[in-house]
Chain A
Amino acid sequence: MSIEERVKRIIAEHFGVSADSLREETSFVGDLMAESIDTVELVATFEEEFGLEIPDEEAERNQTVGQVIDYIKAKLAKRDIP
């Protein structure tokens, strides 16, 4: 499963929507009605799923599904550089 698919699966499960309905521009607050507790849980789930540490200030910058996918890809690429 690609990073994009994994991110979408986690978001879809969390909000009880289909992964196919998630687009890059889908907004957590505007479209998925995310509250602060959703943000906390999603960040914790991404940290566990990808073995990352995501600081709060970086998490806050990711407002859409596409931004999260790009952020995690970049974070993983940085981590994997020897």
Chain B
Amino acid sequence: MKLCIFEDERYDLLYPLTLTRATFELRCGTMTLFERIMRAFRSTDAAFFLRDYLAPVFKERFGDLAVNDMSLLRSDEVVFANGRWLPRAGQPLDGDEVVATSKGDVVYLRAKRDTVRKALSESVEKTIDNLRSELSSEEVDARMIEYPWDLVKYNHEALEEDFDLYRSKRKDMVTLDERVAVVGEKDMVYISDTARLHPFVVLDVSAGPIIIDDRARVYPFSRLEGPCYIGRDTWVVRGNIREDTSIGPVCRVGGEVEASIIGGYSNKYHTGFLGHAYVGEWVNIGALTTNSDLKNDYSTVDVYVKGKLVDTGDIKVGGFIGDHTKFGIGCLLNTGAVVGVACVILGGEVLPKYIPSFCWYAGGRYRRGAGLRRTVEAERRVMSRRGIAMSDSYVKMLERIYQDSREERETLIKKAERKSATEERPS
């Protein structure tokens, strides 16, 4: 059986997170969506289909995987799995040819070799369309990631499911310093042999398990509340890490974090609250920067998606932050704020709900900032501090995002300039 994990056309509902990665690279629980799909099908190998401009970077991130190669679909039975799908652990997926759907979207599609060969087209989307017209459909109960806040919503379940994996690979409980307190059952904690917990750390597993992965460090006076995941090489520095949180790999996190997913190489060293948020990679969150995740009237939170406000149907929704964005000290993110890729935000007031990629926001207005070249150079320095060289493919990806976001950015900047000129004009 060949597993084929594909992006469907709804990747843009997950912007800004999917500007720099495929839908199936998003994280939930302790892993990416594609790792979870591969685990569900007990597969160690897959063919991946994603937007062309992301393909080289995807290969660099995860090794030389099979990407956008239709020829791989000719020689075996194929299961096409939607990259926005979050399969449940132990979900039975064996069976005959079928199109499993959820609210009209393909969740997965199983087809025999000859059926696939007959349906093969120049793209995976068309091939799936052809197969949909040939095979019978079956509506299934599936967790699909439609919007960014779905990742946060499902993080609790995903963490609990993932804990079983870690528990099964544990031989013995790591001996903890007697000054580390566990509230609840000790077997609800997984600590890697190479992780290090300092004295005066509290691990509260009353409401769910805690996973502390390889080479992670938890410094004194930190409190971790399960379910949560501290990824490899991540440091928690005097942190209050609340339930349903996933951090890492290679993050530095302090202050209060609740029900949030923080992508790799991002820092939030200092005091400040982050709740019900998804933060991309290489983000820096300055001291005292805080996001609201609850409106004062307790009504449901709206979030900008493709230029329009979408009602999340949820009253607890925080911010969604693109890769490489930097927040200065004391920034205040509005409830359900969306901040694009490589933005620079200076604080002092509640920020607008939407800031496009490569835009700066300072002094109460949208600004052009440092432009592409200088931003790339700055981010190159940021990445090199963690021993990662920014590749040419990565630069091309950023250039593409810069160009694609130009019109939207300029519209908001010009609007802000007009407003500013009107306000400053003497009456």
Interface residues of A (CB under 8 A from B): 13, 16, 37, 40-41, 43-45, 47-48, 53
A41, A43, A53 — most chain B CB neighbours (10 Å): A41
Chain B neighbourhood of A45, CB < 8 A: 368, 371
**Contact between chains at A16 and B369 (CB < 8 Å):** no
Chain B neighbourhood of A44, CB < 8 A: 368-371, 373-374
Nearest A-chain residue to B424, judged by Cβ: A16
Nearest B-chain residue to A48, judged by Cβ: B371
Task: Report the tally of A-B residue pairs with Cβ distances under 8 A.
Answer: 31
Chain A neighbourhood of B369, CB < 8 A: 40-41, 44
B100 to chain A, nearest CB (A): 48
Known: A13-B417, A16-B417. A41 touches B424 (CB 8 A): no
Q: Is residue B420 within 8 Å, beta carbon to beta carbon, of the partner chain?
A: yes
Chain B neighbourhood of A40, CB < 8 A: 369-370, 374
**Contact between chains at A47 and B360 (CB < 8 Å):** no
Q: How far is the CA of A79 from the CA of B412 in the complex (A)?
A: 33
A33 to chain B, nearest CB (A): 12
Q: How far is the CA of A41 from the CA of B372 in the complex (A)?
A: 11
9 contacts between A and B (CB under 8 A): A16-B421, A16-B424, A37-B360, A41-B360, A41-B369, A44-B368, A44-B371, A44-B374, A53-B373
Q: Is residue B409 within 8 Å, beta carbon to beta carbon, of the partner chain?
A: no
Interface residues of B (CB under 8 A from A): 346, 360, 362-363, 367-371, 373-374, 417, 420-421, 424
Q: How far is the CA of A41 from the CA of B366 in the complex (A)?
A: 12
Chain B neighbourhood of A53, CB < 8 A: 373
Nearest A-chain residue to B371, judged by Cβ: A44
List 4 A-B pairs, minimum CB-CB distance, nearest first.
Answer: A44-B371, A16-B421, A41-B368, A40-B370
Q: How far is the CA of A12 from the CA of B390 in the complex (A)?
A: 36
B416 to chain A, nearest CB (A): 11
Q: How far is the CA of A40 from the CA of B373 in the complex (A)?
A: 12
**Contact between chains at A41 and B367 (CB < 8 Å):** yes
**Contact between chains at B417 and A37 (CB < 8 Å):** no
Chain A neighbourhood of B346, CB < 8 A: 37
Nearest B-chain residue to A42, judged by Cβ: B368
Instruction: Give the secondary structure class of A's interface.
Output: helix
Q: How far is the CA of A43 from the CA of B368 in the complex (A)?
A: 11
Q: How far is the CA of A16 from the CA of B367 in the complex (A)?
A: 13
Q: How far is the CA of A47 from the CA of B420 in the complex (A)?
A: 25
Chain A neighbourhood of B373, CB < 8 A: 44, 47, 53
Chain A neighbourhood of B371, CB < 8 A: 44-45, 47-48
Chain B neighbourhood of A37, CB < 8 A: 346, 360, 362-363, 367
Known A37-B360, A44-B368; 18 more pairs at CB < 8 Å: A13-B417, A16-B420, A16-B421, A37-B367, A40-B369, A40-B370, A40-B374, A41-B367, A41-B368, A41-B369, A43-B374, A44-B370, A44-B371, A44-B373, A44-B374, A47-B371, A48-B371, A53-B373
A9 to chain B, nearest CB (A): 13
Q: How far is the CA of A44 from the CA of B367 in the complex (A)?
A: 11
A56 to chain B, nearest CB (A): 9
Q: How far is the CA of A16 from the CA of B365 in the complex (A)?
A: 13
Chain A neighbourhood of B424, CB < 8 A: 16
Chain B neighbourhood of A41, CB < 8 A: 360, 367-370
Nearest A-chain residue to B423, judged by Cβ: A16
A79 to chain B, nearest CB (A): 16
Q: How far is the CA of A16 from the CA of B363 in the complex (A)?
A: 15
B283 to chain A, nearest CB (A): 20
Q: How far is the CA of A47 from the CA of B95 in the complex (A)?
A: 59
Q: How far is the CA of A53 from the CA of B362 in the complex (A)?
A: 25
B51 to chain A, nearest CB (A): 26
Chain A neighbourhood of B417, CB < 8 A: 13, 16
Q: How far is the CA of A53 from the CA of B373 in the complex (A)?
A: 9
Q: How far is the CA of A46 from the CA of B346 in the complex (A)?
A: 23
Chain A neighbourhood of B368, CB < 8 A: 41, 44-45
Chain A neighbourhood of B374, CB < 8 A: 40, 43-44
Q: How far is the CA of A40 from the CA of B420 in the complex (A)?
A: 20
A14 to chain B, nearest CB (A): 8
B421 to chain A, nearest CB (A): 5
A16, A43, A53 — most chain B CB neighbours (10 Å): A16
Q: How far is the CA of A13 from the CA of B371 in the complex (A)?
A: 17
Q: How far is the CA of A37 from the CA of B362 in the complex (A)?
A: 9
A4 to chain B, nearest CB (A): 22
Q: How far is the CA of A40 from the CA of B374 in the complex (A)?
A: 9
Nearest B-chain residue to A35, judged by Cβ: B363
